[in-house]
Amino acid sequence: MGMSVGSDSTHEDEGIVDINTTPLIDVMLVLLIMLIITIPLQTHSVAIDLPQGNPPPSTEQPKLVTVSIGYDNSISWNNEPIASEAALQAHFEAAAAMPDQPEMHIHPDRLADYKTVAHVMADAQRLGMTKLGIVGLDQFMEGQ
């Protein structure tokens, strides 16, 4: 019983040890075709007429309304106390009906209830105020 272990064997049943590159070439050709197809889609452009130059700054200062919410959840409109919910809603309706709607700055105290602040903001939005902002947030920063 003999077995041939060396490199001097010349039998016909030996396998070819080369890498089959046909699948690799097929995959590369498919990727190349996909790249060729997608490149023209990226080169399409849309013509947009952009404004030229800088517009002059507005000389008119916007009208401001300050709604303050105190630590005891008291509400004031431009530093005038609001007695009831109906009075606050009347102020919102009057401000929303103005042709040039004023900016409303909500200034909550740090100790005011979230429920009160959210209720004021919801009422303002529901009654037509579109220019809302919360000011005085620096009091909520850590370490102060």
* 37-61: pLDDT as tens digits: 887 665 666 777 887 888 888 788 8
Domain boundaries, the chain: 64-142
Q: How do beta strands 80-81 and 75-77 pair?
A: antiparallel
Q: Model-level pTM?
A: 0.56
Q: Pick the residue with more confidence: 3 or 11?
A: 11
CATH number at 64-142: 3.30.420.270
Which residues neighbour 82 within 8 Å (Cβ) at sequence distance 6 or greater? 75, 76, 88, 91
Query: Which DSSP letter does residue 59 get?
Result: -
Across the chain, mean pLDDT equals 83
Dihedral of the alpha carbons of 121, 127, 132, 134, in degrees to the nearest 10: -20
